[in-house]
């Protein structure tokens, strides 16, 4: 562990800080505070909603949020920005320098479980045995301000049913992480934590860079899918390669032919590798997050009004037909998931943005966004012109459309698939 953070954080150090074993080892962190079960440090999380009750766990407690006015007003004196800060009563083993690394790790778990952006303080300046006063809270809150007025208002209060749901999910994930600490050969602790961190970064970046955020959700799933689904193995060289190489010394034509063989094999291997990654991504999702789990997707009306919200708006819902996973065939679902994986590849490797145009889902559009594919549409219009017709059935027009997985559904798929994989590893351990 570095003696000084030098004003930047390494998440791999936060992973070590959360683990009681590595945090308390002789070669681990430098002790700074005299803590005990009755005397523990407070750290801080920053969230986007009003957490109106404490969340207690075995060795730490996330206290209800403190609403802090950040002193930002409009021209007529109305308050514009506030922050929701949750003090965290940390475990007694968190007695080391840079104790904020524990809450940095904890913020990733929270974000993963809640499927919301969660931040932590970037240093330990304010960590101590007492909760800091308002001036310090304002400084902490400035790291994740929330708009409380106007059309861009971002604050809300989750329904008590949703809060219970989040608490249960959080508790389940904590238990799986604790299992991975002691049984890394069954469930890799670092890989599990790092996947949650990647997904957290997706939630944190959604507001400012949707394409990056969406790609990060996919990357978080992919990181675990490569552990869960066996890869395709293929021979690196033909068994007669050495024999062919000797023969090339006798002929320039054979030497040229072998050179072309190498180029073709390299291309083919890369193509197989890409298809293998895509196949494993699809198989991982359909195995660990089948479509009957997709209904767990969150949307703002549900978060605020509770699990029965759809019964309260039956007339409005029936007026707007919604595309749901149950109406798609397995082949269609596989195609959609493959296309989703390609969005990540194109964004990261060529800088091409995802085709999404609406960043948020809603009561009537929870799962998918349907958009026209300009290339296929133009080909269809050209075909219609050649055939001298101006009408076509919907079944033909629908082939010019792309079905896009919404950000919130991608987030739910990430949480469910990774959690179910971890649970499966735990069950395998118990069975043996």
Query: Using one digit for the tens of pLDDT, what is the confidence trace for 251-268?
Result: 777 667 666 666 655 655
DSSP E strands, 111-159: 119-120, 146-147
Domain boundaries, the chain: 1-157, 159-367+406-432
pLDDT at 390: 76
Q: CA 32, CA 285: separation in Å to the nearest integer?
A: 44
Residues paired with residue 49 on neighbouring β-strands, in sequence order: 156
Q: Is the dihedral of CA 424, 426, 428, 430 positive or negative?
A: negative
Q: Which stretches in the chain have pLDDT values below 50?
A: none
pTM, two decimals, is: 0.86
From first CA to last CA, the distance across the chain in angstroms is 36
> Tokens in use for 157?
């209060």
Coil, helix or strand for 251? coil
pLDDT at 372: 84
Burial class (CB in 10 A: 0-12, 13-18, 19+), 402: middle
Strand 42-47 with 66-69, pairing:
unpaired
pLDDT at 287: 96
């Amino acid at each position: 562990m570095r003696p000084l953070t030098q004003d930047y954080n390494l998440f791999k150090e936060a992973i070590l800080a959360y683990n009681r074993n590595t945090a308390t080892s002789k070669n681990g962190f430098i002790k700074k505070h005299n803590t005990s079960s009755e005397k523990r440090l407070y750290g801080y999380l920053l969230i986007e909603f009003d957490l109106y009750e404490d969340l207690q766990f075995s060795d730490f407690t996330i206290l209800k949020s403190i609403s802090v006015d950040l002193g930002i007003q409009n021209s007529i004196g109305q308050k514009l920005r506030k922050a929701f800060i949750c003090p965290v009563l940390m475990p007694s083993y968190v007695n080391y320098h840079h104790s904020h690394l524990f809450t940095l790790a904890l913020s990733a778990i929270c974000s993963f479980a809640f499927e919301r952006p969660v931040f932590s303080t970037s240093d330990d300046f304010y960590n101590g045995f007492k909760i800091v006063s308002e001036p310090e809270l304002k400084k902490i809150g400035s790291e994740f301000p929330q708009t409380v007025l106007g059309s861009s208002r971002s604050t809300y209060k989750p329904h008590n049913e949703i809060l219970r749901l989040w608490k249960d999910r959080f508790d389940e994930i904590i238990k799986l992480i604790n299992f991975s600490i002691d049984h890394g050969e069954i469930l890799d602790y670092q890989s599990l934590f790092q996947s949650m961190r990647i997904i957290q970064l997706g939630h944190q970046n959604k507001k400012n860079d949707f394409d990056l955020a969406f790609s990060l959700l996919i990357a978080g799933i992919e990181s675990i899918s490569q552990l869960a689904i066996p890869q395709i193995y293929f021979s690196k060289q033909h068994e007669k390669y050495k024999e062919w190489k000797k023969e090339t010394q006798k002929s320039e034509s054979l030497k040229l032919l072998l050179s072309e063989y190498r180029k073709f094999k390299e291309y083919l291997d890369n193509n197989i590798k890409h298809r293998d990654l895509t196949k494993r991504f699809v198989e991982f999702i359909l195995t660990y997050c089948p479509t009957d789990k997709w209904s767990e997707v969150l949307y703002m009306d549900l978060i605020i009004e509770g699990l029965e919200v759809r019964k309260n708006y039956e007339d409005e819902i029936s007026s707007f037909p919604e595309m749901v996973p149950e109406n798609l065939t397995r082949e269609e679902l596989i195609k959609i998931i493959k296309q989703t994986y390609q969005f990540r590849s194109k964004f990261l490797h060529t800088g091409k943005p995802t085709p999404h145009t609406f960043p948020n889902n809603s009561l009537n559009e929870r799962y998918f966004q349907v958009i026209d594919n300009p290339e296929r549409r133009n080909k269809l219009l050209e075909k219609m012109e050649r055939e001298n017709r101006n009408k076509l059935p919907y079944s033909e027009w629908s082939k010019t459309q792309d079905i896009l997985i919404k950000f919130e559904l991608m987030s739910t798929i990430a949480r469910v698939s990774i959690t179910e994989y971890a649970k499966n590893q735990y069950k395998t351990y118990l069975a043996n």
